């Protein structure tokens, strides 16, 4: 879900995950006949869209190996969704009546009998059970055994320039297990993984911003450079700090005290605690207290080369520093996944839910909706619903490639931000003026033109599209009830007359040109490793900022969890609790000048000067009211205070 690192250099990237390859098999006729039998129940979404007759390359070898996960439906799948909605909806009498993790598992989790029946069936098919959790039974074995178990043949199919295994038809399970099995992942072996979202230089190589800078928006105007939109424009800010962001989003006296926030990413930066402490000290944020930052990590990390493990360190550092900058007394738990694959990211989310490690979960990773498969969507939604019944809310960055057309050739949204059970966080360009005064925001979308050789004009102004906040209309997720009557039909019904989910829900600072200053240990050309600071953006920044604002709101709410926040967020739509963000708040076009080191470190290879236009997000527009760049808007002064609990005397 995001843009590549070099492109963003204040930008974004994404984590992905593998759908386990649960093979839908190639064996032969007996399996095919079994699937047609009334004694079996099909598992929707297990045959990927790309596994078409035209792409079919023939049977997969019976000896090829399959790894799959059979996700358990639990005691009451429909009841779980209904309860999750009721406790999240301010209009419901059950609003806020959350269950403990133990009670949620007892009421909605899988029974011992379901687990035993699923294991018995898988073993009788010749598959080996490799792991059993509260959520799934993992198996491995050859294609022949997988075909027998799931009632379908496995073939190889062309997908783009590569070939992957997938079921020839939708997988099925014995009818007796229809209420025990939620879904199966891994029958196809195309990679299902996420990318992280921000504009990060790899921590294994230093990156610094060149000046000149503005210290606040507009403080340093580029008077010697050409005009843009009929006027001289300011240099980009050096990077906002916590004080400026807290003022912009109405933190007031709130600090997030006693509120628990979790952050998920892949891997774990070895210098995160040092970097976060150093950053807080340098920028006069509250000092990290002992045991205020926790880490929950797997025993082993995998696929470190494939996922670019070091590239995730900056993402994690940004997330932790942003939460602390805005909610300096919140308790932060970093939960690292074993890899960037969906299976491992799902495990890290499940860990938070199973142990109720936090009430608010920030996630700056994802992938394009076109890569999401219904089997994985079902597994993710079950985790989000189990979180909702416990009062846990999940926040996902909406992506950094606008409508995704420039990136993928197809207009689409990102996932898991497209889930109806998470809060999708879009992005803005933020102007904070003198004395930390909020000036305005636009939707985040950047067009870039470079300074001509003679220094007298901007070549091809306003230039080409670079990046912007992800948003748009899902092709796969139905319109959730809380968006009805608020999201315009022109967006909701763009792909389907019945209406679909539109992303995002809410927004905050994301533009790298108006980004946040972060500090991270990086490797310098002489091989030394030391702390260094740079400005960063992306919806990877917006997500932890909104998570931190929610921590402030939870404190205002008397410490009581806000849970899945979308119903409450939309209930406040159209009030002064939000900045209604539009693309042209001043009436004339907006732009900033950015100067970069050509080599990312110093001026020895020269400087690159460009003008970056604000509010130009591919085909997406931030307009008055709800829009698919900023959702309902960004939190204004009254937002946090609106959660204050009023006691009757």
Residue pLDDT, tens place only, 501-560: 999 999 999 999 999 999 999 988 988 889 999 999 999 999 999 999 999 999 999 999
Read off the pLDDT of residues 188-212 as tens digits, 9 standing for 90 and up: 999 888 876 544 344 567 889 999 9
Name which of 22-26, 304-308, 464-468 the model is least confident about.
Answer: 22-26
Q: CA-to-CA distance for 204 and 195, rounded, in angstroms?
A: 18
Confidence at 6, pLDDT banded by 50, 70, 90: very low
DSSP sequence for 426-446: EEEEEEE-GGG-EEEEEE-EE
DSSP calls for 203-255: TTS-----S--BSSTTSSB-TTSPPBTTB--BBPBS-B-HHHHHHHTT-TT--
This prediction's pTM: 0.92
- Mean pLDDT over 614-622 rounds to 97
Helical segments of 89-133, H only = 101-108, 112-124
At 381-399, the pLDDT tens digits run 999 999 999 999 999 999 9
Read off the pLDDT band of 28 (50, 70, 90).
very low
pLDDT, tens digit (0-9, with 9 covering 90-100), for 111-148: 999 999 999 999 999 999 999 999 999 999 999 999 99
Closest among 547, 505, 545 to 261, alpha carbons compared: 547
Beta-strand runs (E) in 223-372: 260-266, 293-296, 331-337, 360-363, 365-368
Interstrand relation of 464-468 and 445-450 (parallel, antiparallel or unpaired): antiparallel
For the chain, list the domains and their CATH numbers: 5-14+197-641 (3.40.50.200), 19-74+110-190 (no CATH)
């Amino acid at each position: 879900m995001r843009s590549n690192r070099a492109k963003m250099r204040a930008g974004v990237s994404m984590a992905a995950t593998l759908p386990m390859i649960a093979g839908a098999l190639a064996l032969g006729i007996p399996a095919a006949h079994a699937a047609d039998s009334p004694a079996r129940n099909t598992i929707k979404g297990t045959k990927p869209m790309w596994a078409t007759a035209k792409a079919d390359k023939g049977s997969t070898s019976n000896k090829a190996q399959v790894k799959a996960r059979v996700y358990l439906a639990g005691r009451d799948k429909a009841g779980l969704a209904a309860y999750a909605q009721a406790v999240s909806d301010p209009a419901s009498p059950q609003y806020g009546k959350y269950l403990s993790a133990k009670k949620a598992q007892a009421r909605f989790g899988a029974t011992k009998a379901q687990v035993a029946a699923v294991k018995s069936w898988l073993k009788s098919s010749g598959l080996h059970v490799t792991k059993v959790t509260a959520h799934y039974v993992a198996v491995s074995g050859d294609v022949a055994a997988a075909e027998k178990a799931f009632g379908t043949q496995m073939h190889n199919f062309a997908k783009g320039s590569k070939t992957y295994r997938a079921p020839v038809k939708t997988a099925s399970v014995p009818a007796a297990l229809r209420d025990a099995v939620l879904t199966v992942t891994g029958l196809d072996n195309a990679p299902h993984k996420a990318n992280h979202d921000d504009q990060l230089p790899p921590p294994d190589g230093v990156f610094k911003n060149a000046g000149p800078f503005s210290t606040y928006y507009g403080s340093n105007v580029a008077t010697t450079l050409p005009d843009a939109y009929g006027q001289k424009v300011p240099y980009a800010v050096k990077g906002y700090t916590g004080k400026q962001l807290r003022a912009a989003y109405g933190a007031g006296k709130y600090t997030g005290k006693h509120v628990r926030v979790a952050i998920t990413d892949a891997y774990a930066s070895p210098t995160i605690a040092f970097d976060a402490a150093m950053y807080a000290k340098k920028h006069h944020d509250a000092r990290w207290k002992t045991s205020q930052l926790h880490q929950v990590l797997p025993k082993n990390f995998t696929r470190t080369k494939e996922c670019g493990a070091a590239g995730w360190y900056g993402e994690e550092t940004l997330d932790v520093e942003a939460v602390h900058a805005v909610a300096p007394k919140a308790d932060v738990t970093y939960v690292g996944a074993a890899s960037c694959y969906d299976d491992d990211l799902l495990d890290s989310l499940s860990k938070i839910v199973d142990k109720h490690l936090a009430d608010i979960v920030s996630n700056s990773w994802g992938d394009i909706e076109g890569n999401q498969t219904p089997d994985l969507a079902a597994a993710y939604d079950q985790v989000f619903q189990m979180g909702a019944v416990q009062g846990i809310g999940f926040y996902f960055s909406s992506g950094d490639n606008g409508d995704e057309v420039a990136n993928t050739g197809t207009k689409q949204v990102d996932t898991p931000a497209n889930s109806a059970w998470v809060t999708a966080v879009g992005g803005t360009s933020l102007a904070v003026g003198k004395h930390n005064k909020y000036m305005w925001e636009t939707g985040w979308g950047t067009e870039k033109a470079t300074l001509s050789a003679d220094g007298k004009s901007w070549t091809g102004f306003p230039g080409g599209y670079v990046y912007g906040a992800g948003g748009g209309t899902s092709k796969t997720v139905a319109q959730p009830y809380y968006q009805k009557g608020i999201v315009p039909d022109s967006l909701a019904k763009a792909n389907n007359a019945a209406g679909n989910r539109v992303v995002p829900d809410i927004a905050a600072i994301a533009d790298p040109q108006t980004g946040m200053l972060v500090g991270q240990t990086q490797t310098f050309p002489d091989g030394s490793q030391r702390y260094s600071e740079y400005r960063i953006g992306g919806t990877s920044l917006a997500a932890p900022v909104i998570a931190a604002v929610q921590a402030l709101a939870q404190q205002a709410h008397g410490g009581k969890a806000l849970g899945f926040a979308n119903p409450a967020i939309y209930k406040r739509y159209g009030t002064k609790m939000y900045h209604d963000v539009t693309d042209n708040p001043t009436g004339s076009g907006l732009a900033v000048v950015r100067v970069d080191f050509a080599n990312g470190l110093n001026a020895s290879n020269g400087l690159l000067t460009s003008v970056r236009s604000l509010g130009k997000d591919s085909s997406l527009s931030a307009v008055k009211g709800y829009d698919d760049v900023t959702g309902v808007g960004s939190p204004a002064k009254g937002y946090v205070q609106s959660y204050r609990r009023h006691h009757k005397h």
